[in-house]
Amino acid sequence: GVLDVLVNNAGIGLSGSFFDTTTEDWRTVLDVNLWGVIHGCRLFGARMAERGQGGHIVNIASAAAYQPSRILPAYSTSKAAVLMLSECLRAELASRSIGVTAICPGIVNTGITSTARFAGVDAEEESRRRKNSARLYGLRNYPPEKVASAVLDAIADNKPLVPVTPESRVAHALSRVLPGALRRLARVEPKV
């Protein structure tokens, strides 16, 4: 059959400086975070368009799509590409009554931290950073159910972009009004 709603939600995390991130790291992140979304949109979106009864595509991007970071170049680049892909598809599919939404969560308590990679460090340091990230996400404790609720609202209202968490909404507003402030913030050395 043909889907009425498609949610592309594949994603892997990778932290590390640009020069510590290998070509293979880049390939892996882009294969999952970007190409996974492209393949889902091509396969299921084409069927929606052929059916001619509308539908909705939701692509899970990230606040990292519009918030530069010195420690997330590959991840942020992949999510920025998902955001732009969503905007392009929205323009193309509007005449076919297919909505496209980019959802941009911030820090949400999901399992992404348990599989995140940290480029440029040994296995012991990577394990320590993974545990610290999981602890911080757990302390933040923003439940994935709130993201799911935002997805449902976005579909119902045919929204193009939804920054979900408070930090995502602030970063999105700053990216539009004070992008220089976000760029300066990205230069701050993170404590890991």
- Domains of the chain with CATH codes: 5-186 (3.40.50.720)
pLDDT of res. 192: 60
Give residue 52's region: left, alpha or beta (phi > 0; psi -120 to 50): left
d(CA 100, CA 58): 6
Tokens found for residue 113: 């931290």
Residue in this structure with the two tokens 């396969």, named with its chain if needed: 43
Q: Which residues pair with 59 in a beta bridge?
A: 8, 102
Which residue from 51, 60, 69, 52 is spatially nearest to 14, judged by alpha carbons? 69
Helix and strand element counts for the chain (H, E) = 9, 6
Catalytic residue numbers read: 75
What pTM value is reported for the model? Answer: 0.93
Which among 71, 76, 192, 70 is positioned nearest to 126, based on CA atoms?
192
> Residue 99 in 3-state DSSP?
strand
Q: CB burial class (10 A; 0-12, 13-18, 19+) of residue 30?
A: middle
Amino acid 110: pLDDT: 86
Token duo for residue 151: 């997805």
- pLDDT tens, residue order, the chain (192 aa): 889 999 999 899 999 999 999 999 999 999 999 999 999 999 999 999 999 999 999 999 999 999 999 999 999 999 999 999 999 999 999 999 999 999 999 999 888 888 899 999 999 999 999 998 888 888 888 999 999 999 999 999 999 999 999 999 999 999 999 999 999 999 988 776
pLDDT at 85: 98
